[in-house]
């Protein structure tokens, strides 16, 4: 009886040449190299975020900085001068977005994308490499801003921001801000914890097909700032868009507000690329775990600030929980 010899099936190694990320990295903001003391990154980030939530002065940021920037560009008092027409409203939207640039969400995104600064030899290649992540941020940001602006134009003064009702001592406008910024803070907390690999990377599977998905998500978060923003100058633009009952104007004005909101970040990112981009990349390359620490720290500080300021501090102000009040905010 003849025995048939079975030839073992050869094992074919996985071809990683088509993978968008190197081994160990699951998405743009989550790589396989961890700091030796990742718990220290977490602890310091939480402490810094809580301190900023405690010390943050909306009076200083919104009025002293934001109002002065808007007044200087517009040439008049932005808080008291009425918006006269669509053209003035469009200019007002962009300028007030520029004046409100320094938000926690913007700073977190800036910190997270900083390791992507290129060091190519060609100026044109370096500019393209720098602008690409900003373009993907815009892909996520602009649709959110435009849709919300169109809704404001359609619904008009029936939006919650115009309601005089209250939930206990919380107005609908503040409640909406707490919900929106709470969600943004939770998303950033998840991103920070996954960067340190305390939890699985939620964007890992989708990033294999769409490597820029994390940047699009960050753009969505920046666009989402408009949904909850109680910034006084933004409320002026919001009211004008609602009273015009023009969804196209609302979409365009809100889009310009968001674009103005990231102009400073974009200019800083380009300047960083041209001035110290090569040195920064070499510094990060000598110890790649620094990339993880920088990315995770940016997300965690912003997340803890958002949750501490918009949830704990506001609930403390309304008497529901205890949260310390800085003397200059009393």
Please identify which residue in the block is written with the tokens 């960050």: 218
Q: How far does the chain reach from its first CA to its final CA, in angstroms?
A: 96
Residues paired with 30 in a beta bridge: 27
- Shortest CA distance to 108 belongs to which of 262, 259, 272, 302? 302
Please identify which residue in the block is written with the tokens 């990060």: 284
- Shortest CA distance to 107 belongs to which of 42, 49, 50, 30? 49
Q: Three-class SS of residue 27?
A: strand
Please identify which residue in the block is written with the tokens 């943004």: 184
What does each of the 330 residues of the chain score in pLDDT, given as a tens digit? Answer: 455 555 555 544 444 445 677 777 888 888 878 999 999 999 999 999 999 899 988 776 666 666 677 777 777 676 666 677 777 777 777 777 776 666 656 666 666 676 666 555 566 676 777 778 888 889 999 999 999 999 999 998 888 877 777 777 788 888 888 999 999 999 999 999 999 999 999 999 999 899 999 999 988 988 888 887 766 777 788 888 888 889 999 999 899 888 888 887 788 777 777 777 677 777 877 888 888 898 899 899 989 998 999 999 999 988 889 999 888 887
Q: How many CA atoms lie within 13 A of 45 on its CB side?
A: 28
Our measurement of the distance from residue 80's CA atom to the centroid of its chain's CA atoms, rounded to an integer in Å, reads 29
Q: Dihedral of CA 235/238/240/242: which sign? A: negative
Backbone angles phi, psi at 324, to 5 degrees: -65, 145
CA–CA gap between residue 315 and residue 321 (Å, rounded): 6
Please identify which residue in the block is written with the tokens 């700032």: 225
Q: Three-class SS of residue 212?
A: coil
Ramachandran class of 85: left when φ > 0, alpha when ψ lies in -120 to 50, beta otherwise: left
> What is the C-alpha R_g of the chain?
23
What does pTM read for this prediction? 0.84
Q: Own/partner pairs for 120-126, CB < 8 Å, 24+ apart?
A: 126/273, 126/274, 126/277
């Amino acid at each position: 009886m003849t025995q048939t010899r079975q030839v073992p099936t050869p094992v074919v190694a996985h071809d990683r040449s088509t993978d968008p990320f190197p081994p160990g990295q699951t998405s743009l903001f989550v790589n396989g190299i961890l700091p030796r003391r990742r718990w220290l990154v977490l602890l310091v980030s939480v402490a810094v975020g809580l301190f900023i939530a405690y010390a943050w002065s909306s009076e200083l940021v919104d009025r002293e900085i934001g109002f002065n920037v808007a007044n200087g560009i517009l040439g008049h008092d932005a808080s008291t001068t009425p918006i006269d027409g669509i053209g003035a409203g469009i200019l007002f939207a962009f300028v007030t977005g520029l004046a409100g640039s320094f938000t926690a969400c913007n700073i977190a995104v800036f910190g997270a994308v900083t390791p992507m600064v290129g060091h190519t030899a060609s100026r044109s290649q370096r500019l393209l490499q720098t602008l690409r992540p900003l373009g993907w941020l815009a892909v996520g940001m602009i649709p959110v801003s435009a849709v919300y602006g169109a809704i404001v134009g359609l619904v008009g003064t029936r939006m919650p921001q115009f309601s005089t009702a209250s939930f206990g001592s919380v107005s609908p406008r503040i409640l909406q801000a707490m919900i929106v910024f709470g969600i943004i803070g939770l998303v950033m907390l998840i991103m920070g914890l996954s960067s340190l690999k305390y939890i699985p990377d939620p964007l890992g599977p989708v990033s294999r097909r769409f490597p820029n998905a994390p940047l699009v998500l960050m753009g969505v978060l920046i666009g989402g700032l408009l949904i909850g923003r109680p910034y006084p100058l933004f409320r002026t633009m919001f009211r004008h868009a609602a009273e015009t009952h023009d969804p196209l104007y609302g979409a365009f004005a809100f889009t310009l507000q968001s674009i103005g909101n990231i102009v400073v970040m974009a200019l800083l990112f380009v300047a960083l690329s041209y001035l110290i981009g090569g040195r920064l990349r070499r510094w990060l390359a000598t110890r790649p775990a620094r990339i993880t620490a920088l990315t995770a720290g940016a997300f965690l500080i912003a997340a803890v600030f958002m949750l501490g300021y918009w949830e704990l501090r506001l609930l403390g102000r309304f008497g529901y929980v205890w949260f310390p009040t800085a003397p200059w905010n009393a």
